[in-house]
Amino acid sequence: MTTHHRTIEAALARIATGYVFPERTAAIDALLRRQLADGAYDGLDERELCEQVTDDLQKACPDKHLRLLWSEEPQPMDEEPEDVARARFARYAREHNYGVRRVEQLDGNIGHLDLRMIAPAELGGPATAAAMQLLSTTDALVIDLRQCRGGSPAGVQLWCSYFFADDEVHLNDIYDRTTDSVRQYWTLGHLGGPRYLDRPVAVLTSEATFSGGEELAYNLKALARATLVGRTTRGGAHPTARFPVAPHITVTVPTARSINPVTGTNWEAVGVEPDLPTAPEDALTTALEHLRAQLHR
């Protein structure tokens, strides 16, 4: 058995036991094994293998979170201790300011929040509260998710909570295959900063907006709390686990799925559509025009 063959076997085993839609795993298994038998992966280096297998996975099952990832640095094949993984991610989140790239006041007293990731609530809570405190005196707000590529469901819950009056708004449900259970996400009753109520909000999106960034946009749109401006997002709605299958290769396996209580579905494979379709580079200008028109009614 070749190295590539062993890598794909390990990835298929993880997909079979963990993928949130077990009924789809047979088609995935059949396609990758057919590609192996046909020599489709022969002669590829590891990075090329990841790209080709990911493309094949998407053909068998169009799930944007289902993929092989290559890393330049080797990774341990044994499962990383939970405390080590948490400490490593905490450092990463801190180095990226818990996703808050910029908070500013624009002309006309309109706030601008540039959010690049959705940090877990237990890590990002103080940064979230600080950002919302700085924005609390503005008359309208732009949440810029054009470069937000994901994050934590509980972090999304925290951000959403700032835009509703109490803890009685049902935001999202997540079904987990591993436990065969559904977790509900509602707005939070206690927040570290002031809520942003009774003022217009616009959310900027692009083709790069992904996963947790998409959920934030989707929730606010479904609940009619914000106007979305930009392009349809990338379309990844499934919380995902990562498993090393070779020293430089990880398979990402969606183990859960979102179920929005308003729409009954989610944004997987279709993305979140904007209310005002606009080129991403023009989205901020369009959003500001929209918000100023609302303020001057």
* Banded pLDDT at 84 (limits 50, 70, 90): confident
Q: Is the dihedral angle over the CA atoms 125, 186, 226, 162 positive or is it negative?
A: negative
Domain(s) of CATH 3.90.226.10: residues in the chain: 96-164+190-236+271-295
What integer pLDDT is reported at residue 155 of this predicted model?
98
What integer pLDDT is reported at residue 85 of this predicted model?
82
> For residues 236 and 268, is the Cβ–Cβ distance under 8 A?
yes
pLDDT digits (tens, 9 = 90+) for 93-151: 999 999 999 999 999 999 999 999 999 999 999 999 999 999 999 999 999 999 999 99
pLDDT digits (tens, 9 = 90+) for 246-285: 999 999 999 999 999 999 999 999 999 999 999 999 999 9
For residues 5-23, give the mean pLDDT. Answer: 96
DSSP 6: H
Cα 119 to Cα 75, 99, 123, 136: the distances in Å are: 23, 6, 7, 21
Question: How many Å apart are CA 145 and CA 125, to the nearest integer?
Answer: 18
Fold annotation for 96-164+190-236+271-295: 2-enoyl-CoA Hydratase; Chain A, domain 1 (3.90.226)
On the question of pLDDT at 231 being above 90, the answer is yes
Q: What size, in residues, is the chain?
A: 297
On the question of pLDDT at 38 being above 90, the answer is yes
